[in-house]
Amino acid sequence: MLSGGVSISEQQQEVLPVWLIVGLGNPDTEHEGNRHNIGFMALDRIAADGDLPEWRKKFHAHVNETGFRGQRALLMKPQTYMNRSGLSVAEAAKFYKIPVDKIIVLHDELDLPFGKVRVKKGGGAAGHNGLKSIDADFGSQDYWRIRIGIGHPGDKSRVSGYVLSDFTKEERHQADIVVAGISRHMDLMLAGKDAEFMTKVSEETKEK
Does the annotation mark 60 as catalytic? no
**Residue 152 pLDDT > 90:** yes
pTM of whole model > 0.85?
A: yes
pLDDT tens sequence across 82-112: 999 999 999 999 999 999 999 999 999 999 9
pLDDT of residue 2: 47
The better pLDDT of the pair 67, 198 is held by: 198
Question: What is the model's pLDDT at position 208?
Answer: 55
Q: Where are the domains of the chain?
A: 2-204
- Which CATH architecture does the domain made up of 2-204 adopt? 3-Layer(aba) Sandwich (3.40)
Of the residues 31, 36, 128, 185, only one is catalytic, namely 36
Q: How far is CA 207 from CA 38, 112, 194, in A?
A: 17, 14, 22
pLDDT at 204: 85
pLDDT digits (tens, 9 = 90+) for 58-68: 999 999 987 67
What is the per-residue pLDDT for 50?
86
CB 62 within 8 A of CB 2: yes
The confidence score (pLDDT) of residue 34 equals 98
pLDDT value of position 118: 96
Tell me: pLDDT of 143 over 50. yes
Calpha distance 112→94 (Å, rounded)? 32
The model's confidence at residue 1, banded by pLDDT at 50, 70 and 90, is: very low
List, for residues 31-78, the tens digit of each pLDDT value: 999 999 999 999 999 999 988 888 999 999 999 987 677 788 999 999
Residue 172: burial class (beta carbons within 10 Å; 0-12, 13-18, 19+): middle
Q: Which amino acid makes up residue 87?
A: L
**Residue 3 confidence (pLDDT) above 80:** no
Per-residue confidence (pLDDT) for residue 207, from 0 to 100: 62
